[in-house]
Structure 1
């Protein structure tokens, strides 16, 4: 489609997609409005007709990330046969999302490291809170179903779930091989689930998985 004939909403969406793509190949802090406009083959003036500032662009990007990521994990959880399988599906869908959009973790980490309060940073915090609430709900259901230990601290477990993915992604970014996050994810997730009592002898998704040597 010729970008000259895009609607205002389509132009805003294209801007967001452009920033996400740029963040995948360069430092997000170096993505200026001039860089964005050049990538889109428009003037900065045209860009500012749809966004009042660079901060507004970043807020729109983080809004997009929130909708896309939470939508993915919700769909993954809805298709799962049990709470623990939902956690497994959420974990893997999150990793797949990062691999598909490598600029996203760079932008998220960048926003959280900024000292000043920005609208984008507020959106990121809201994303993390919404994510944690979903995880806590699944963990409480897993406790009720006897799939994890009954004394599991679900809030702490939710924090650890997100932190585990962040660590996995960060190490993969540092190694320069983001695909390693996908190959390492099952093993890392298995350790996490066993820590909840969901991997020893084990009821996962309603099935019994015998421990090695049993």
Structure 2
């Protein structure tokens, strides 16, 4: 008789987070419940509660995982070898690619749960957005210091506009049921916004 090896707590948590992202990807945050999640993972609800006390804890862990993966993505781009402006363009392309590979992210961002639901989830998601906003603002500032972006561009403000453009594309992508390649929109964002920040002749 073969004895089935019990998964470690770390592996089980990983399985739960991946299953949660898949439920959100296909059905939305509203359909993510402890019942649907335990069924998707193939465990009893009491076992799920051993790893995550409730749905709120699952959502918080999801945001932590997204930030960890985003940081890993950025670290693997080889940004140190590029000029600041090249870094900014590469990051935007990589970010759209990151969202396209994980379609559950836009559903999290535009969920009712985030807008008027769990305050802990909202605060944690705001931390993630702020982290990325500051990262983009830092790239804009570095490009200004390098003479690649005009000095009158306000880094924080324009980083916010840039992220809003990316989120708007992601929202349209979700509404269209992913009928276009999100990554193909990167050049439109870059031409419309980033290249519009270039120093003007004679300035």
Same fold (TM over 0.5): yes
On the 8 A contact 1:84/1:147 being kept in 2, the answer is yes
Question: Could you say if the C-alpha distance between residues 106 and 120 of structure 1 is closer, same or farther in structure 2, counting changes exceeding 3 Å?
Answer: same
On the 8 A contact 2:108/2:114 being kept in 1, the answer is no
- Aligned partner of 2:159 in structure 1 is 158
Aligned residues: 199
Superposed counterparts of 1:6-25, under 5 Å: 6-25=7-26
Superposed counterparts of 1:119-198, under 5 Å: 119-177=120-178, 179-197=180-198
Question: Could you say if the C-alpha distance between residues 157 and 62 of structure 1 is closer, same or farther in structure 2, counting changes exceeding 3 Å?
Answer: same
Superposed counterparts of 1:57-96, under 5 Å: 57-76=58-77, 78-96=79-97
Higher relative contact order (CA 8 A, sep 6+): 2
Distance in 2, Cα, partners of 1:127 & 1:3: 38
State the superposition RMSD in angstroms: 2.2
- Aligned partner of 2:106 in structure 1 is 105
On the 8 A contact 2:74/2:91 being kept in 1, the answer is yes
Distance in 1, Cα, partners of 2:107 & 2:15: 19
Question: Could you say if the C-alpha distance between residues 167 and 112 of structure 1 is closer, same or farther in structure 2, counting changes exceeding 3 Å?
Answer: farther
The Cα of 1:150 is off from its aligned counterpart by: 1.5
On the 8 A contact 2:114/2:122 being kept in 1, the answer is no
The Cα of 1:74 is off from its aligned counterpart by: 4.0
Structure 1 stretch displaced more, 7-16 or 67-76: 67-76
On the 8 A contact 1:23/1:103 being kept in 2, the answer is yes
Distance in 1, Cα, partners of 2:191 & 2:81: 17
Unaligned runs of 5+ in 2: none
On the 8 A contact 1:12/1:50 being kept in 2, the answer is yes
On the 8 A contact 1:149/1:197 being kept in 2, the answer is yes
Distance in 1, Cα, partners of 2:164 & 2:78: 19
Question: Could you say if the C-alpha distance between residues 61 and 87 of structure 1 is closer, same or farther in structure 2, counting changes exceeding 3 Å?
Answer: same
